[in-house]
Amino acid sequence: MDNLIDKSLLLEKAKSLVSLLERENATNDEIEVALSEIATAGDSNLFQELGKMTREIHEAIMSFRMDSRIANLANTDFPDAKDRLEYVITMTEKAANTVLTVVEKGTPVAEKLSTQAKHLGEQWGRFRRREMQGDELRAMGSEVEEFFAESETMMSELLSGFTEVLMAQDFQDLTSQIIRKVITLVDDVETNLVELIKIQGEHLTPPPQEEKNKKAADDRANLDGPQIPGKETDEVMTGQDDVDDLLASLGF
Amino acid sequence: MKILIVDDFSTMRRIIKNLLRDLGFNNTDEADDGNTGLPKLQTGNFDFLVTDWNMPGMTGIELLQAVRADPKLKNLPVLMVTAEAKKEQIVMAAQAGVNGYVVKPFTAQTLKEKIDKIFERIEG
């Protein structure tokens, strides 16, 4: 660092200080200025280092700001991620409704088939036990014919329902892809935040531990929603059996 | 047997409605939160309430408390079907007078068991 001291400059300043001291009418102020000039000349290496650091920090911050990835995150990726997640909700809802509609339409069809089959089974039993008269027998014949025709239509109705249910499952593939993209985005944000903290070079004090809210259960913000497997905490029941045990311990 | 199903998600209401129908309960009505559910309860002669907890407007726990505070409704059996599984929440629901508590995701069998148990206790 010695090479940073400008010797000729220092010598010049020293000479002018000496001549100032030899002058009888030199004021205290003048002497102080000359002294501080010498001190500054000696410290110039420190100031240069500081200047260099400041410039580095400035450049780092500027390059951080200029990083298009950051701008993209804020301007495009985040709104995009929100749209994507909204789409996940839309898709899962659509799939659920498709399946529910098939079930709601299919259940009475299956029930009707089952009832008719039971009825015909009983008729057939009577026929086998020779309890049936000619007219009844003819009636059963046409009922059987009707049943065959109807069951074919009903079965194809049910089968097309099954196909609909099958096709509705494509949401799983699509939503996972979307969610995976959002996970990547969150990863990116994390990386960039770590960079930012490094640049800032400060030891961020960890946020104070959230105070336990005594009325937690009363506060909607505190409702956790569905438990994610592997993310349960101690005070959370892991399933219906746990809930039943807890309720039993409360006298239920 | 007339049953009111309160849940903010229409798909969940449909699932519960279909499960109840499979269990032989055909007379059901729906509401999307406590604010719409409570007036229905007060005027609709319901015999049973199935409610979610976390809903916009009036939550399930508030609805339960309102039901227990209403002289005409205070004996209405209430089954809570919810994703909330914290111990303190279950204790809170129990203290508020819930008759059964089912955590989502649940099975048809669980729902049937809890409903059967509630009616056994009422009739017994």
Sheet holding B27-31, edge to edge: B27-31, B2-6, B48-51, B78-82, B100-103
Q: Which two tokens stand for residue A45?
A: 């290496």
| pLDDT category of residue A196 using cuts at 50, 70 and 90 | confident
User: What per-residue confidence (pLDDT) applies to A234?
Assistant: 67
User: What per-residue confidence (pLDDT) applies to B118?
Assistant: 92
* A218, A225, A246 ranked by CB distance to B90: nearest: A246
Would the pLDDT of A121 be above 70? Answer: yes
Tokens 């010797």 appear where? A7
Q: How many residues does chain B have?
A: 124
Measured in angstroms, the CA of A102 and the nearest CA of chain B are apart by 12
List of chain A residues whose C-beta atoms are within 8 Å of the C-beta of residue B11: 93, 96-97, 100
Mean pLDDT of B6-27: 89
Q: What mean pLDDT value characterizes chain A?
A: 81
Q: A63-72, A94-103, B15-24, B114-123 — which one is most confidently predicted on average?
A: A94-103
Inter-axis angle of helices A240-249 and B87-96, to 10 degrees? 50
User: What per-residue confidence (pLDDT) applies to B27?
Assistant: 96
| pLDDT category of residue A208 using cuts at 50, 70 and 90 | low
Q: Cβ–Cβ of B83/A226 closer than 8 Å?
A: yes
Would the pLDDT of A89 be above 70? Answer: yes
- A53 touches A64 (CB < 8 A): no
User: What per-residue confidence (pLDDT) applies to A201?
Assistant: 66
Would the pLDDT of A6 be above 80? Answer: no
Q: Cβ–Cβ of B61/A217 closer than 8 Å?
A: yes
User: What per-residue confidence (pLDDT) applies to B48?
Assistant: 97
* B10, B83, B92 ranked by CB distance to A217: nearest: B92
Q: Give residue-wise pLDDT tens across range B17-31.
A: 988 988 889 999 999
Task: Please report, to the nearest 10 degrees, the dihedral formed by the alpha carbons of residues A238, A242, A244, A248 taken in order.
Answer: -150
Would the pLDDT of A214 be above 50? Answer: no
* A97, A223, A235 ranked by CB distance to B87: nearest: A235
Residues of A with CB under 8 A from a CB of B: 93, 96-97, 100, 103-104, 107, 216-218, 220, 223-227, 232, 235-240, 242-243, 246-247, 250, 252
* A97, A218, A239 ranked by CB distance to B11: nearest: A97
| pLDDT category of residue A220 using cuts at 50, 70 and 90 | low
Q: A59-63, A159-163, A212-216 — which one is most confidently predicted on average?
A: A159-163
Would the pLDDT of A1 be above 50? Answer: no
User: What per-residue confidence (pLDDT) applies to B3?
Assistant: 97
Would the pLDDT of A105 be above 90? Answer: yes
- B64 touches B78 (CB < 8 A): yes
| pLDDT category of residue A216 using cuts at 50, 70 and 90 | very low
CA–CA dist A187, B51 (Å, integer): 37
Would the pLDDT of B2 be above 60? Answer: yes
What phi and psi, each to the nearest 5 degrees, are found at residue B28?
-125, 155
CA–CA dist A89, A172 (Å, integer): 12
Would the pLDDT of B74 be above 60? Answer: yes
Q: Cβ–Cβ of B87/A216 closer than 8 Å?
A: no
Entry pTM: 0.62
Measured in angstroms, the CA of B115 and the nearest CA of chain A are apart by 13
List of chain A residues whose C-beta atoms are within 8 Å of the C-beta of residue B84: 223-225
Q: Give residue-wise pLDDT tens across range A18-49.
A: 888 888 888 888 888 888 887 777 666 777 78
User: What per-residue confidence (pLDDT) applies to A213?
Assistant: 43
Q: Give residue-wise pLDDT tens across range A232-241.
A: 666 888 889 9
User: What per-residue confidence (pLDDT) applies to A117?
Assistant: 94
| Helix, strand, coil fractions of chain B, as percent rounded to 5 | 50, 20, 35
User: What per-residue confidence (pLDDT) applies to B117?
Assistant: 92
CA–CA dist B65, A17 (Å, integer): 89
Q: Cβ–Cβ of B88/A235 closer than 8 Å?
A: yes
Give the residue, A72 or A231, on which the prediction is more confident. A72
Q: Cβ–Cβ of B86/A236 closer than 8 Å?
A: yes
ipTM: 0.82
* A100, A239, A242 ranked by CB distance to B18: nearest: A100
Would the pLDDT of A195 be above 80? Answer: no
User: What per-residue confidence (pLDDT) applies to B63?
Assistant: 97
User: What per-residue confidence (pLDDT) applies to A212?
Assistant: 45
User: What per-residue confidence (pLDDT) applies to A4?
Assistant: 56
Q: Give residue-wise pLDDT tens across range B27-53.
A: 999 999 999 999 999 999 999 999 999
